[in-house]
A and B are shown apart, each in its own frame.
Chain A
């Protein structure tokens, strides 16, 4: 367990060194947040209460989206490129002989990264949004804690999806296509462009049932106080369920990949 704590701390520290990149990213998130905030204001002024949000809740959703975009890696990014590269070059064989579990190893690093991005890329855009717009942020610290737990589970689900995508590089010569498909899912079905509550009819039903809704929609609704009591437990259960299913699939795939590497002689 200590090993994984060290790996996670390493994942955190590694990103602290990119200071200018972080500042540039915060700037970009803030610009996108402002653009989206105005389009949402236009939308909600015509249809107040759309998706069950009032205007300030909709704006809060926009800024949460910008604050979490890196943390839960909605557009990918993080460890996948490195893992794919190791698979392509064959260095993965070394990792498989390490006395640590491959999946947990990368998960720990990704959790560290997410923690950094929550602080480094999340706080400033959200604070800017709160200053420049009228947001519906809760005063109760327990709501914030509940939100943080939902974000953590979102990171788990996000990791498990990206891990599957990266492992596909064992079978596909070039994982770019796979990564792009996952990217599409992350951008559209996380609700980053438009809250999933606003998706009409069956599309909305499907979108809310997909794993990507764990990344933004659920954490945002937790912060906006829309999941409380047993509803909150249900939301966590939904996230945990997807995380367990996808992590489990990842383990199966990993086992198959390991056999493959061993057969090929590394």
Chain B
């Protein structure tokens, strides 16, 4: 008994180290499980090729809709086609990244309902990594590819005076943006511990958020813009950094340095989503569904 008490104290003092080690374990488990899913998919090779292509085309459709809109107009909400394509590509690629890594979080509710979540809880690796890697699908690369292609088109056609800081915004948007979307996926998963059938609510913030960010903020009502800036901070994925690149005013009065805050916002979102996840898992383990 005495040795156990000592052990507990030691672990307490090393909590941050423990969490880091947990994260490393999680990444390792994620890689292992994702690898298994890739092998599984390749068992149906023809179907995989078709779905990857389909994924690419499907995500392209909303850009085709934008192109069709621009066949009638020169500017939407005051933004030209290359500018809208810039917003679209940045959001699409960031969302695609999050979708590739965390896109399976919406299956959590089902796992709680059918009891298969329990089989994940008896393995020696973090549950979050196992749920996130569940049904890992390489075909989701189609979405990233499509987003990057549109972004590439925008970069070629945009009339922007490029500076190092402006160029820096592009990787910053993709990585921080991906992290913000990933946090939304995790928070949505945590919500399903409480409401198992409500997986579709998270689509509002993930797919819906992505769709909104593809258009200029000037299109939307001020309250909606406030909502995605201050409540669910999706505006930090691409809108705010893009305003800096495109040298455009943001509909809300925000200082220009806000364009550089996405990494901080992303870190905050991830921390909050992590806390929500742990709370959800704790609730599940005390109520058993």
Contacts and interface: CB of A to CB of B under 8 A. Distances in A.
A188 B61 contact: yes
Interface string B60-104: 011011001101110111000000000000000000000000000
A174 B47 contact: yes
B46 interface: yes
Interface in B197-239: 197-201, 203-204, 208, 211-212, 215, 218-221, 224
Interface of B is mostly: helix
Given A28-B201, A184-B61, A38 B221 contact: yes
Contacts of A31: 204, 208
Contacts of A39: 76, 215, 219
Of the four ranges (under 10, 10 to 19, 20 to 34, 35 or more), the interface on chain B belongs to 35 or more
Interface residues of A, number: 39
Nearest to A193: B65
Contacts of B212: 35
Contact of A180 (B58, B69, B76): B58
A194 interface: yes
A40 to B, nearest CB: 9
Contacts of A206: none
Given A38-B221, A42-B77, A174-B47, A27 B54 contact: no
A119 interface: no
A24 B197 contact: yes
Contacts of B54: 177, 180-181, 183-184
Given A34-B224, A187-B61, A24 B208 contact: no
A91 B224 CA distance: 49
Interface centre among B57, B65, B71 (most CB of A within 10 A): B65
Contacts of A194: 65, 68-69
Nearest to A41: B219
B72 A50 contact: yes
A46 B73 contact: yes
B279 interface: no
Given A20-B197, A35-B208, A42 B221 contact: no
Interface of A: 18-21, 23-25, 27-28, 31-32, 34-36, 38-39, 41-43, 46-47, 50, 172-174, 176-178, 180-181, 183-184, 187-188, 193-194, 198-200
